[in-house]
Structure 1
Amino acid sequence: MTNRRNFIKQAGIAGLAGMVAPNLAFAKDSPVTASLATAEKIKWADGSRLVVSVSMQFEAGGQPDNPESPFPQNMDKGYKDLPAATWYNYGYKEGIPRMLDNWDKLGIKVTSHMVGAAVLKNPQLAKEIVERGHEAAAHGMNWSSQYNLSYDAEKKFIKDGADAVKNATGFTTVGYNANWLRRGENTLKILQELGFTYHIDDLSRDEPFIIQVNKKDFAVVPYTLRCNDIVLIEGKNFSADQFVNQVKMEFDQLYAEAEFKRRQMSISFHDRIGGSPQMVKAAHDVISYMQKQKGVSFKRKDEIAQMALKDKTTIRE
């Protein structure tokens, strides 16, 4: 706590020095010099001021019968919720193709977390995502929970999903996202054994960090619920402009903090939600705004994980 207080105090002096006496910031023995030196050590190795990571969930087609949806959960037992199924179908028929075109227009690459069963149903679409330069990450074999599985059953569940992605796209997954982030006690050990290098099921920081799994380095690339369409648009009935405003405010704050420390911003879009016309327009507007700010870069999560693993200044827990 003392170190953090001193750093904040020094950072405040640095800002004050820039306003009152610009030359003070370069004084040989001033506290500002130490503050800036510290800040330099914790920025991104490639010189980025702020790194933005976009997720595109590929789930449609992998859902069970009568899944969660915007429709009332009042179906009689024994009947299928056919309208809800069409809501999911929109994700691969319209949503992902529209988002892919949008990413091309913006010139960014994203990470697509792919459910194995969804990939098996639409292998050509999964392949197209990779062919257009995006990362394919694993998202389980289906929508079943995995935290309650035995070690062997969970290992098969993860591997089957990863194999489905590999067979359809040729891409070897190195990142993982559990259903609703609910991994189990054995998940990380299994991921390390299967050759994964990072997971995203963590909300505890606004920058990547490294943990030890099976006595080896393993990267954590934090996810988000704050800038997530399934939470805000579907879950809280936000309008598209409310979503833009919230994401923009998050960006502005992180961009300001990024002057002094390494910051990562995450945004998440789901095929059937983020791929709707108004949400694609919202994504285009807010990302275009970010791209106008100096030092902002957009990276796939596998790229962020590799940067974190190679950087000696990355936080370790």
Structure 2
Amino acid sequence: MTTPTGPPRDLVGYGAHIPKVTWPDNANIAVNIVVNYEEGSEYSYAAGDCENDVLGDSGYRFPAHVRDLAQESMYEYGSRAGIWRLLRLFDELHVPATFFGCAVAFEKNPAVAACASRAGHDLVSHGWRWEEHWRLSRDEEREHIRLAVESFEKTWGSRPTGWYCRYGPSVNTRELVVEEGGFAFDCDAYNDDLPYFTTVNGKEHLVVPYSQTYNDSQGSKNPSEFLDYIKRAFDELWLEGERGFPKMMSIGLHPRLVGQAARTSALREFITYAQHKGGVWFARRNDIADWWSTHHHDFPLVDSLRASC
């Protein structure tokens, strides 16, 4: 068996030497709300695929050879209703968000891209389609990255400077993202609570890790459980910041899931709670990347007396 190529693993990271981070206004925590806009770009027979996607809002699975109209309509809810509910909420509470957008999804509903862009939210490429990049050859993946950038320039009005794959990258993704030349960072990692620099083919590259943990697709999707989970995470990370070691928190959302009214209510409660507590920087992902590159490119690592060594 041939061993797959790809980047080496790093199981050490910052370790016990925690970066002494300073966020704007000395915030204890940076919170990035991420809207994964995928609706219309998922696998479906309607799109010419030979399979149904499975991450709608149903536990029922059709046979592989049968078109699942119910699952398709659950995705449609996200683009027809859920996304607009979320955009209204962000506008009401004056909270910026990041769109992990799939290019084809915006092509199917360009009004979403236009509205989100006008509202001041930012864009990270979530691919040409909502597809698993490990299925693609290196040349196919390079071409899909090109198609995505070209598409976003038309729908969003500008190209994205960040990248994120469905389910994480292939062994080629990071090299291709750096090779493309227009991406300042990627989010294809789940291994830290802070950004970090790595080296790709001799070039320095910024990684702003994402989280599947604080994500509306986890667990039972019960609104109370979702609220409890992200609130507990926020409180613990906020406390770490209060003690001198601020972190960042990514909250992953999907319009077809959290765009349902009951779950939007839970999201509203969380945002309001965090705003009232204070000491929080609600930031777009590009803002975090720019801040890190400007203020924390070279900084001392502080030995944490509380770390287990």
After TM superposition, the score normalised by the length of structure 1 is 0.81
**How far apart are residue 155 of structure 1 and its match?**
0.9
Between Structure 1 and Structure 2, which shows a larger proportion of helix residues?
1
Unaligned 5+ segments in structure 2 are 1-11, 45-51, 302-309
User: What aligned pairs does 1:1-317 form with structure 2 within 5 A after superposition?
Assistant: 41-44=20-23, 47-65=26-44, 66-68=52-54, 69-181=56-168, 183-194=169-180, 195-231=182-218, 236-259=219-242, 260-310=244-294, 311-313=296-298
* Aligned-partner Cα distance in 2 for 1:58–1:193: 25
**How far apart are residue 272 of structure 1 and its match?**
0.3
Q: Percent identity?
A: 27
**How far apart are residue 89 of structure 1 and its match?**
0.2
* Aligned-partner Cα distance in 2 for 1:157–1:57: 18
* Aligned-partner Cα distance in 1 for 2:261–2:299: 38
Tell me the residue number matched to 1:30.
none
Q: Is the 8 A contact 1:174 1:198 kept in 2?
A: yes
Q: Compare relative contact order (CA 8 Å, sep 6+) and give the higher one, 1 or 2.
A: 2
Quickly say closer, same or farther: Cα 1:123–1:230, change in 2 above 3 A.
same
Q: Is the 8 A contact 1:50 1:263 kept in 2?
A: yes
User: Which amino acid letter does the alignment assign opposite residue 42 of structure 1?
Assistant: V
Deviates more, 1:66-75 or 1:91-100: 66-75
Quickly say closer, same or farther: Cα 1:312–1:114, change in 2 above 3 A.
closer
Q: Is the 8 A contact 1:141 1:158 kept in 2?
A: yes
**How far apart are residue 315 of structure 1 and its match?**
8.5
Deviates more, 1:220-229 or 1:148-157: 148-157
Quickly say closer, same or farther: Cα 1:178–1:314, change in 2 above 3 A.
farther
Q: Is the 8 A contact 2:57 2:256 kept in 1?
A: no
1:36-91 Cα shifts (integer Å, max 9, x gaps): xx98x432265222110100011111112121034455434543111111100001
Kindly report the root-mean-square deviation, in angstroms, between the aligned alpha carbons of the 2 structures.
2.3
* Aligned-partner Cα distance in 2 for 1:193–1:129: 28
* Aligned-partner Cα distance in 1 for 2:300–2:229: 27
**How far apart are residue 147 of structure 1 and its match?**
2.2
User: Which amino acid letter does the alignment assign opposite residue 213 of structure 1?
Assistant: V
Q: Is the 8 A contact 1:209 1:314 kept in 2?
A: no
User: What's the secondary structure of 1:230's corresponding residue?
Assistant: coil
Quickly say closer, same or farther: Cα 1:75–1:312, change in 2 above 3 A.
closer
* Aligned-partner Cα distance in 1 for 2:196–2:15: 18
After TM superposition, the score normalised by the length of structure 2 is 0.83
Quickly say closer, same or farther: Cα 1:293–1:314, change in 2 above 3 A.
farther
* Aligned-partner Cα distance in 2 for 1:228–1:49: 21
Unaligned 5+ segments in structure 1 are 8-37
User: What's the secondary structure of 1:264's corresponding residue?
Assistant: strand
